[in-house]
């Protein structure tokens, strides 16, 4: 283990860290955390009772009872809550919150998304502003996204619902019903243009 600054880093005595892990300053590694070889922990992380695979990179993120696979990048400013299980070669970017969800290999959620109570397959894209709407006011519900799905920016996925393999969800769509395989789904109001009306508003 390469510890850049021991004076600004806390590591729990229960933690298991491979020899060639690099830990930058201002990190807290708490509880029974396990970090695999070749992984880099950049500054300003709080990692609690979590498992991080090999050759991963975590930057300015909070992880609580979460799992991250090999060759996956997390952060900056990502929040992986209890039950977040991220596969290999994934990208979890800035301001992405993941709770009680499974993310398949090579899937990306690059920024500004809430991923709660969902199983997402491999090679999927979760666009900016996507929300998995899991709470109806009384109960939490779970959704499924199969392999090779593309979810465009600012989509709402209303649980419980299934997106079948190779579905393409256009930006701004709210999904409430199961999508067939290889489907293009668009559900947004039509744009209306009123020319020369700006002065009225």
Whether residue 191 lies inside any domain: the answer is no
Q: Of these residues, 111, 113, 149, 155, which one is catalytic?
A: 111
Residues 79 and 17 in one domain: yes
Residue 189 has pLDDT above 90, yes or no: no
CATH number for the domain that contains residue 43: 2.160.10.10
163, two tokens: 């997106």
Whether residue 200 lies inside any domain: the answer is no
Annotation marks residue 141 as catalytic:
no
Whether residue 199 lies inside any domain: the answer is no
Residues 127 and 166 in one domain: yes
Residues 122 and 84 in one domain: no
pTM given for the model: 0.93
Residue 186 has pLDDT above 90, yes or no: yes
Confidence of residue 192 (pLDDT cuts 50, 70, 90): confident
Residues 1 and 85 in one domain: yes
Among 37, 40, 3, 43, residue whose Cα is nearest residue 19: 37
Residues 14 and 89 in one domain: yes
Residue 191 has pLDDT above 90, yes or no: no
Look at residues 73, 99, 125 and tell me which one is the last residue of a structural domain: 99
Whether residue 145 lies inside any domain: the answer is yes
Residues 52 and 13 in one domain: yes
Residues 43 and 120 in one domain: no
Whether residue 105 lies inside any domain: the answer is no
Using alpha carbons only, how large is the chain's radius of gyration in Å? 19
pLDDT value, residue 197: 80
Confidence of residue 175 (pLDDT cuts 50, 70, 90): very high
The total number of structural domains in the chain stands at 2
129, two tokens: 């502003």
Q: Tokens 């999904």 label which residue?
A: 175
Look at residues 65, 99, 133 and tell me which one is the last residue of a structural domain: 99
Burial class (CB in 10 A: 0-12, 13-18, 19+), 55: middle
111 close to 94: Cβ distance less than 8 angstroms: yes
Which residues form the domain of 19? Answer: 1-99
82 close to 100: Cβ distance less than 8 angstroms: yes
Tens digits of per-residue pLDDT, 58-115? Answer: 999 999 999 999 999 999 999 999 999 999 999 999 999 999 999 999 999 999 999 9
Residues 20 and 48 in one domain: yes
Residues 73 and 24 in one domain: yes
Q: d(Cα 71, Cα 81) in Å, to the nearest integer?
A: 20
Whether residue 12 lies inside any domain: the answer is yes
């Amino acid at each position: 283990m390469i510890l850049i600054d021991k004076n600004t880093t806390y590591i729990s005595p229960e933690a298991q860290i491979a020899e060639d892990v690099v830990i930058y300053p201002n990190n807290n590694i708490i509880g029974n955390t396990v970090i695999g070889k070749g992984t880099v922990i950049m500054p300003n992380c709080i990692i609690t009772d979590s498992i991080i695979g090999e050759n991963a990179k975590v930057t300015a993120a909070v992880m609580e009872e979460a799992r991250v696979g090999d060759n996956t990048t997390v952060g900056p400013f990502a929040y992986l809550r209890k039950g977040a299980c991220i596969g290999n070669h994934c990208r979890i970017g800035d301001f992405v919150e993941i709770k009680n969800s499974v993310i398949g290999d090579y899937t990306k959620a690059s920024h500004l998304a809430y991923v709660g109570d969902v199983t997402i397959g491999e090679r999927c894209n979760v666009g900016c502003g996507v929300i998995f709407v899991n709470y109806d006011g009384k109960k939490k519900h779970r959704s499924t996204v199969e392999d090779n799905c593309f979810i465009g920016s600012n989509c709402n996925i209303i649980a419980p619902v299934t997106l079948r393999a190779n579905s393409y969800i256009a930006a701004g769509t709210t999904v409430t019903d199961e999508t067939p395989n290889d489907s293009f789904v668009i559900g947004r109001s039509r744009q209306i243009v009123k020319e020369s009306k700006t002065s009225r508003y």
